[in-house]
Structure 1
Amino acid sequence: MDSALVGIPVALILAIAIADLAAPDRIHLGPLLVAAPAITASFAGPRLTAAIVVVSAAAELLIASVQGDFGTQTFVGEIAALVTVGVLIVIFAYVRDRERRTLTQVRSVAETAQRALLRPVPARMARLRVASTYLAAEAEAHIGGDLYGAVRTRGLTRLIIGDVRGKGLAAVSDAALLLGAFREAAHHAPTLPHLAAYLQDSYGDRLADIPAPPPEETESFITATLVEFPDDRPLLTVVTCGHPPPLLLRGGEVTALPDDAQAPPFGLGDLAPAEYTARTFPFGEGDALLLYTDGVIEARDRAGRFYPLSERIAEWAGDEPELLLRRLSQDLLRHVGGRLDDDAAMVAVRAV
């Protein structure tokens, strides 16, 4: 709290008291004193607010003493109203501060969960430079259903990015389960389709172990993209499971990788048996790849226009991954006016 702000209600009390004493007897400005504690509650806690209530009441008593209004109905009504409203304002300040402390604790827990779940990807992985970022829908949340991860194994770098349907603890739990399965299976699965099948089975088993959702809730699922980069060949391999296609940045041009071989999201394999098909694309020195969740492309400005990701990212296609994501994040937040309606995760990769 800025101590200079305390001068505002104090100055207001002095101004009202002086004006009331200078005004004709038929004009009573005392009721305006309640504005001082109301203003104080906007920036201070219950103790300082209560102190300003006491100062306001003392000013009302001083005015009545000078004007000889003690005991009159006007004085009794004004002082009673001032004290009653003042007490209510102090109670409001107390409840607000208690909720603020609770929110701070929740935020700390959420940040700890995010650090444990979404560990930053290494800046250098074999022939790749990599960066990641996570933008929360609400500044107080800092964690939701978006996920990403990276693993080095047997001459390969494997990445995942995904988006859990829903929010809250259930979404965090699903994200943690899928990331844990990915970090384990990525070391053993011989191909990306095998890895995707394992993740579907792992997530499907988890869904089988929990009670059925209420009728008003739809099934849980996770959209995801898996990408593999061999160390010894200028290629990348992709398996997409209901997720937005990665963007390839090459020579100042931005191209969405074809997603005609999409498989269903994880968790929906029982409804439509999944056939995981890997697509391979050239990925040589200087090429870059952007993985992202739908919170990026579905972000809207005040006019309802979606964020033009492909158009905007072309301006920074030559940047290193960390700088690219920093500029992209800043531009995205400007587009939505500072607050996202959905979480957004991004991973940028450049071949060197």
Structure 2
Amino acid sequence: MPVVLIVVITVVDQVTPADIQLGPLLVIAPALTASFAGPWTTGLIGALAVATQAYISWYFGVLFTRNVLVQILALAVLSVLVVLFCVVRERRLRQLAQVRMVAEAAQHVVLWPLPERIGPLTTACLYLAAESEAQIGGDLYAAAATDRGVRVMIGDVRGKGLSAVQEAAVLIGAFREAAHHHITLPALAHALERSVARNLPALGTEADLGERFATVMLVEIPDEEPVTRVLSCGHPPPILLSPRTAVTIPVHPAPPLGIHELVPADYTVDVFSFEPGDTLLLYTDGVIEARDTGGAFYPLDERTAQWAGSSPDQLVHHIHRDLLDHVTGRLDDDAALIALYRPPGPHRVHGYQLGHHRDQAAGSHSA
């Protein structure tokens, strides 16, 4: 475009009357080049513009007049300034790219991607951060294959931004270690609560300690039993998808982590059937609270019913596209999804008694 512009200005200037001078318009060429090219290309276009200005002046026989020399000098100075701008911009872009690379590496350290297979399960996950250029925020998830089966945590820290990422990192780190050392889910929840109580005060001022909390869902899926054990700390209930249906699992939520000094912990473990061929969908409130332009919430339970027979990857892909269509491409809050699929296979035991188990004893604090 800059070269075409220079050619057009040169041709038009030669066919117009001598009292009409279009040469000063050549400054547009290096300025336009700077918007998409580097300093070397911009400098080359600037030099071409100066040479063209000199050629036009020579064509009309006014090259050595004082007015034309000033115009040529001004064009040369402006071209040099534009090149210097390109140099500074390129340096800052390199610095920004390096910082972004470090930030992405740090985010991957905090939020490990789930493996495609963990224990007997096939998994798929999705994370959509509300902050632009961010890959994680206040939502979190983690999974661990333990002696008691696969344990999964999904949660949502109050707020977003850097402080929310710090709080999410505390919970993820605590879960990765505690998931292997506590026999029951209530004992694991108590361990996470103690970690939150120890670490969150260091991440904020004393004034906002009462406002720092996290909703968490803990899930345990034994390798051989066709059940799932769920413990909710104020987190939205999961959805169980069989090949033809989708049902929201009713849970008995305890208070979120971080406020148990105000409300004593009273954990309930809900046990439900999780047969081969079923998919368990975990999500954060950023999904179900996403609004369209009319203010309507995203109907996750209704939408997932039509994809009940899909694989975990397909299910997450469908929800991803449908959710972004619902909000016209922009989320106001972080959103996370995990799909856990138990494939058909041998050595499955049936006939387990399902129900709810409430843990209120002081002994639940130990492994």
TM norm structure 2: 0.82
Q: Which residue of 2 aligns with 1:275?
A: 266
Confirm or deny that 1:255 pairs with 2:247. Answer: yes
Instruction: Indicate the SS of the match to 1:47.
Output: helix
Instruction: Indicate the SS of the match to 2:181.
Output: coil
Q: Find 1:329's aligned residue among 300, 320, 332.
A: 320
Deviations 1:164-198 (A, max 9, x none): 33444433332222112111111222221221121
Relative to 1, partners in 2 of residues 1:68 and 1:340: Cα closer, same or farther, differing over 3 Å?
farther
Contact 2:167 2:203 in 1 (8 A): no
Relative to 1, partners in 2 of residues 1:65 and 1:294: Cα closer, same or farther, differing over 3 Å?
farther
Q: Find 2:136's aligned residue among 143, 147, 157.
A: 143
Q: Structure 1 residue 347: deviation in Å?
A: 0.8
Q: Which residue of 1 aligns with 2:88?
A: 95
Q: Which residue of 2 aligns with 1:183?
A: 176
Q: Which runs of 5+ in 1 are unaligned?
A: 1-7
Q: Find 1:224's aligned residue among 194, 197, 216.
A: 216
Contact 1:103 1:140 in 2 (8 A): no
Which 10-residue stretch deviates more, 204-213 or 312-321?
A: 204-213
Q: Structure 1 residue 72: deviation in Å?
A: 5.4
Aligned residues: 343
Distance 1:107 1:40 in 2: 26
Q: Which residue of 2 aligns with 1:4?
A: none
Q: Structure 1 residue 338: deviation in Å?
A: 4.6
Q: Structure 1 residue 86: deviation in Å?
A: 3.5
Q: Which residue of 1 aligns with 2:342?
A: 351
Q: Find 1:245's aligned residue among 213, 218, 237.
A: 237
Q: Which residue of 1 aligns with 2:358?
A: none
AA of the residue aligned to 1:322 = D
AA of the residue aligned to 1:255 = V
Q: Which residue of 2 aligns with 1:173?
A: 166
Distance 2:210 2:80 in 1: 47
Q: Structure 1 residue 226: deviation in Å?
A: 0.9
Q: Which residue of 1 aligns with 2:155?
A: 162
Instruction: Indicate the SS of the match to 2:37.
Output: coil
Contact 1:138 1:339 in 2 (8 A): no
Q: Structure 1 residue 108: deviation in Å?
A: 1.6
AA of the residue aligned to 1:179 = I
Distance 1:96 1:305 in 2: 43
Q: Structure 1 residue 41: deviation in Å?
A: 1.8
Q: Which residue of 2 aligns with 1:105?
A: 98
Q: Which residue of 2 aligns with 1:3?
A: none
Q: Which runs of 5+ in 2 are unaligned?
A: 344-367
Relative to 1, partners in 2 of residues 1:289 and 1:211: Cα closer, same or farther, differing over 3 Å?
closer
Q: Which residue of 1 aligns with 2:360?
A: none
Relative to 1, partners in 2 of residues 1:342 and 1:55: Cα closer, same or farther, differing over 3 Å?
farther
Q: Find 2:226's aligned residue among 204, 223, 234.
A: 234
AA of the residue aligned to 2:172 = L
Contact 2:167 2:200 in 1 (8 A): no
Q: Which residue of 2 aligns with 1:5?
A: none
AA of the residue aligned to 2:314 = L
Q: Which residue of 2 aligns with 1:22?
A: 15
Which 10-residue stretch deviates more, 106-115 or 334-343?
A: 334-343
Distance 1:81 1:264 in 2: 70
Distance 1:340 1:79 in 2: 52
Relative to 1, partners in 2 of residues 1:303 and 1:58: Cα closer, same or farther, differing over 3 Å?
farther
Which 10-residue stretch deviates more, 149-158 or 263-272?
A: 263-272
AA of the residue aligned to 2:50 = A
Instruction: Indicate the SS of the match to 2:235.
Output: coil
Q: Structure 1 residue 161: deviation in Å?
A: 0.8
TM norm structure 1: 0.85
Which 10-residue stretch deviates more, 180-189 or 233-242?
A: 233-242
AA of the residue aligned to 1:43 = F
Contact 1:136 1:342 in 2 (8 A): yes
Distance 2:331 2:23 in 1: 45
Q: Structure 1 residue 253: deviation in Å?
A: 2.9
Contact 1:156 1:228 in 2 (8 A): yes
Contact 2:153 2:217 in 1 (8 A): yes
Distance 1:315 1:74 in 2: 75
Relative to 1, partners in 2 of residues 1:315 and 1:143: Cα closer, same or farther, differing over 3 Å?
same
Which 10-residue stretch deviates more, 250-259 or 310-319?
A: 250-259
Relative to 1, partners in 2 of residues 1:335 and 1:22: Cα closer, same or farther, differing over 3 Å?
farther
Relative to 1, partners in 2 of residues 1:300 and 1:78: Cα closer, same or farther, differing over 3 Å?
farther
AA of the residue aligned to 2:273 = P
Q: Find 2:30's aligned residue among 33, 37, 44.
A: 37
Contact 1:197 1:276 in 2 (8 A): no
Sequence identity (%)? 51
AA of the residue aligned to 1:326 = H
Q: Which of the pair has more CA radius of gyration?
A: 2
Distance 1:293 1:273 in 2: 24
Relative to 1, partners in 2 of residues 1:316 and 1:211: Cα closer, same or farther, differing over 3 Å?
closer
Q: Structure 1 residue 143: deviation in Å?
A: 3.0
Confirm or deny that 1:203 pairs with 2:196. Answer: yes
Distance 2:327 2:99 in 1: 25
